[in-house]
Amino acid sequence: MAQFIGAIDQGTTSTRFMIFDRGGVEIGRSQIEHRQILPAAGLVEHDAREIWENVRKTIDAALSGAGLVASDLAAIGIANQRETTVIWDRATGDPVAPAIVWQDTRTAPQLAGLDADLLRERTGLPPATYFSATKARWLLDTVTGLRERAERGEVLFGTMDSWLIWNLTGGLHLTDVTNASRTQLMNLATLDWDPVLLDIFAIPRAMLPEIRSSAEVYGTADGLGVPIAAAIGDQQAALFGQTCFEPGDAKCTYGTGNFVLLNTGTTPVRSTHGLLTTVAYRFGDQPPVFALEGSVAASGSAIQWLRDQLGILESASDSETLAGQVEDTAGVYFVPAFSGLFAPYWRPDARAAIVGLSRYHTAAHLTRAALEAICYQTRDVVVAMAQDSGTELDCLQVDGGVTANALCMQLQADILGVPVSRPAVAETTALGAAYAAGLAVGFWTSLDELRANRHEDRRWQPAWTESRRTEGTTRWRMAIDRTLDWA
């Protein structure tokens, strides 16, 4: 009997394949970065073919490194960067254009005239370049002849989960309810493509995938013989991997961006404070579970910018050492609004700014300001979440690559004023996809089994005084105001 579960974690900057045992312990992994294609300011693209090739390579490498073969896997689950949009040829399987990444802002002109109230009511999402609908429309309107081909069903649309399922299974065109809820084309009440929304965004239904649950056997991976048994958006996967199964449970994932999700149960909570109402997960024919989400566009990517564009850091991990050379930022605030501000502001006109500089300041101050920016942005979302839900956070469960930075996590506890808890398995996105796939095939039989797998690795307690926290958040809001009305 197969003793392990595999998980594809297809993220914004890299793809990894991870293997877990019944205790949720990592047995093997392989990870490959892919190119970030930046044709101009505000444009972010990926090569979908490169990503698919990396998926195949990481599966082979992780199995080989762990001394396993495909038959040792009971199933494979997929977690993926959401909203990133791919259109490909149904006959050849070739993408018709580069994938447009969720961070891309080229579709801002489409937002004018959209009915924000209608969109929020039907989708739980505000008008924003973030979501897939405007990206798909841009491709249909820009690539010669593509709209006509889409109407004839010759090309297919999907987010990364659909693209990977199609390639893994030899042509099944599917998506799950969590990813569909991020396209701005699915109705939250019906969990199906909405004809009114398709008409608003001029998207032919013939190109859309079938919407399925987050955990069920979709098909079998060609060449592996392993069931593909889950697909779930990366942030929802992390919520599940953190075992946030009850209403009021919340987590924050730190990656390219920051994503805070709060489980709100089987009833969607409509936000009035700039958050998103989204599907958290749905298993088989059970009722869907919903979440409130606050999405921050740039967190880990701010550290990457210091490394790649400014050359301040040789590696992202150097940020902790460099920032630790100073006790504070000496009044510097860095708002990394490279693609505008997401939750709770939703200001695509914002652009990044560093304020409070003097000749006294050093690379260490700027790096520490970048770490604080990650934490202030998270606090903005947590405050909005409490206002919408009426639930005050008593501990923030965290995961993702940035959580390896102990200074950043201490700053997060300081700025929030509540403890921060990191699990023993920090890569909860992959773990959540594995859990979903395992439940679908009976590898695990209950949520209680999964809860028993969670163990805390480290906890940070807040150390700032309330007056310091208040001063910092007040100055942060002043810095936010200085980023507006630029684009």
234 annotated as a binding-site residue: yes
12 annotated as a binding-site residue: yes
How many CA atoms, within 13 angstroms, populate the side-chain half-sphere of residue 95?
23
In the three-class reduction of DSSP (H, G, I as helix; E, B as strand; rest coil), residue 212 is classed as strand
90 annotated as a binding-site residue: no
Residues 6+ apart with CB under 8 A from 473: 376, 379, 415
258 annotated as a binding-site residue: no
Q: Which helix (H) or strand (E) holds 353?
A: strand 353-355
Alpha carbons 103 and 45: distance in angstroms, whole number: 9
Alpha carbons 8 and 168: distance in angstroms, whole number: 11
Structure tokens at 20: 């877990």
Contact 86, 157 (CB under 8 A): yes
Contact 15, 80 (CB under 8 A): no
Alpha carbons 148 and 486: distance in angstroms, whole number: 37
Closest listed residue to residue 223, CA positions, set 388, 60, 393: 60
Structure tokens at 143: 């690539």
Q: Kindly tell me the burial class for residue 275, based on how many C-beta atoms sit within 10 Å of its own C-beta (0-12, 13-18, 19 or more).
A: buried
Q: Kindly tell me the burial class for residue 33, based on how many C-beta atoms sit within 10 Å of its own C-beta (0-12, 13-18, 19 or more).
A: exposed
304 annotated as a binding-site residue: yes
235 annotated as a binding-site residue: yes
DSSP strand E in 191-288: where? 192-193, 210-212, 215-220, 227-233, 250-254, 258-265, 276-281
Q: Which helix (H) or strand (E) holds 30?
A: strand 26-33
175: number of Cβ within 10 Å: 28
14 annotated as a binding-site residue: yes
Q: Kindly tell me the burial class for residue 173, based on how many C-beta atoms sit within 10 Å of its own C-beta (0-12, 13-18, 19 or more).
A: middle
* Residue 266 CA, distance from chain mean position: 21
Structure tokens at 262: 């709060």
Structure tokens at 12: 């914004």
Structure tokens at 383: 């405050």
16 annotated as a binding-site residue: yes
390: number of Cβ within 10 Å: 9
83 annotated as a binding-site residue: yes
Q: Specify binding-site residues for ADP.
A: 12, 16, 256, 300, 401, 405
Q: Specify binding-site residues for ATP.
A: 12-14, 256, 300, 304, 401
Q: Specify binding-site residues for sn-glycerol 3-phosphate.
A: 12, 82-83, 130, 234
Q: Specify binding-site residues.
A: 12-14, 16, 82-83, 130, 234-235, 256, 300, 304, 401, 405
Q: Specify binding-site residues for glycerol.
A: 82-83, 130, 234-235
